[in-house]
A and B are shown apart, each in its own frame.
Chain A
Amino acid sequence: MELAGVEPPPSVTIIDDDPEDREDLMDLLRDHGIEPRPVNDRYGQDIDRLVADILAIGSSFVICDYRLQPKNFASFSGSKVVRRLGMSKQPAMLLTMYQSNNRLELRQERADMPVVVSRRDFEVERLGDYAEICRREFSDNPIDQRRPHRSLIAIRDIRNNHGPTELDVVIPNWRPDESIILPELCLAPGVTTGLEVGDYLLGDVNVGAEDEDDLFFRNVNEVIKACEISDL
C-alpha cells in the first residue's frame, strides 16, 4: 500500500477507562519506544473538557477506547471523542473491543472516523500508518479504502419488527454477492418513506474498503424505485 513504512509518532495520548487495559497499552508503547500519555480523570458528560485536555497534551496521535462508560470515565463513547478530534484535525484512532460487536453502532459514525481497529488487530508497528491515514483524510486526499464513490445500494430486505429499522443491502460495486446490514439511521431522513424491497438507493460509499466494518455511508439521499427500472 501507498502507506507502508511511515515512522511511528514519538508520543501517543491514551484514553481508556479500564486501568488494566490502559497500563497494558502503555507498556506496549514503551516497549516500542513511544511515550504514552494517559488521560486520567472523570469527565461525565463534559466532552468539551476532554477534547480540550487531549489537544493540550499535544501528542501527534491519540488512541481512544470505544467504551468509556463501564468504569465511569465518561458517559459518552470514544467514537464521539474521535470525531470531535477529527474536527480539530487531530489524528486519532478508535480502539474497539477484542471481538467487535458494535458493528452497527459504528457504521453510522464510520464516515467521520478514519481509523477504527479492534484490540485483536491492533499493531503498534502500524501507528505511523494510522496517523498518516488521518492526515491524508484531513487534507482531503483519503487513502483508497476511505475514498467515497457514488454507489448503487440494492435493498434486499427491510426489517423493523423491534426497535430501529434495518435494511439488508448489497452494494454491487463493492461485493455483488454479499449483503450487509444498513441501519436506517445511515439514510438521509427524506428517503426512508415508502421504501420497498427491490428498490435501490444511491449514496457515497467507500467501495475500496477491504472489510465490511470499514464501509461507511454518506449522503444516501436518492431512491430508484424498482418500477422505474426499464428492461434492456
Chain B
Amino acid sequence: MISLGAYLGISFILFICGIMVMIARKNIIAILLGIELILNASALNFAAYTKFVNGNLEGHIMALFIIITAAAESAVGLGIVIRFFQLRESIHIDDASTLQN
C-alpha cells in the first residue's frame, strides 16, 4: 500500500488543489494558503523519492530547505498583506491594480 505511486498521487492532488486555490480565490491570504499547499506537495515528492528510489538523504535535506523557504515566504508575504490592508482597507486581489495603469 505504501508505494511510490501512492505518494505521487497524493502529492499530485495536493498540487492541483493548490493551483485551484491560487487561481479561484480573491483573497490575498487565501492565495498564500494555496502556495503553502504547492510547496508541501513538492516537499512530499522529494521525501518519497528519497525513500523509494535512491536511498540517500539528499531529498530530506531538500525538503528541509523547502520548509525554511516556505516559512520565510509566509512571513514576508503576510507583512506585505498587512501593509496593503493599512493602505487600501481591503485585501481583495483586484484592489492591487496600481501597476496596471
Judge: A and B partners, yes or no.
no
A residues near B (Cβ < 8 Å) are none
B residues near A (Cβ < 8 Å) are none
